[in-house]
């Protein structure tokens, strides 16, 4: 079981039920798994007339995470962090 994928799936479902989009910034050590899962999820969403971009993916290391956290366009009150 991939804990990061399980947590992403759970949080995506909760986020979408509330009418929000989700940006997933997974571990930099598992980019291929993350890309594959995001492609599958986006495909399922699009087949159900939901924009695939609702389930976004950003890959990279600590610098990318810091840029997201420091961005004025991200409401940090709506963020979920994990150390998986």
User: Which one, of 23, 81, 13, lies nearest residue 56 by Cα?
Assistant: 23
Average of per-residue pLDDT across 49-69: 89
Percentage of the chain modeled with pLDDT above 70: 87
Q: Is the pLDDT of residue 66 over 90?
A: no
Residue 44 in this model has a pLDDT that exceeds 90: yes
pTM: predicted TM-score of the whole model, two decimal places: 0.75
The confidence score (pLDDT) of residue 41 equals 93
72-79 average pLDDT score? 72
Higher-confidence position of 78 and 27: 27
């Amino acid at each position: 079981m991939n804990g990061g994928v399980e947590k992403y799936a759970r949080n995506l479902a909760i986020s979408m039920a509330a009418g929000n989009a989700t940006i997933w910034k997974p571990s930099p050590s598992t980019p291929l798994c993350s890309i594959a899962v995001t492609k599958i999820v986006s495909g399922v969403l699009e087949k159900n007339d939901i924009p695939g971009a609702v389930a976004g993916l950003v890959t990279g290391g600590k610098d990318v995470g810091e840029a997201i956290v420091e961005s004025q366009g991200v409401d940090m009150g709506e963020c979920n962090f994990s150390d998986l």
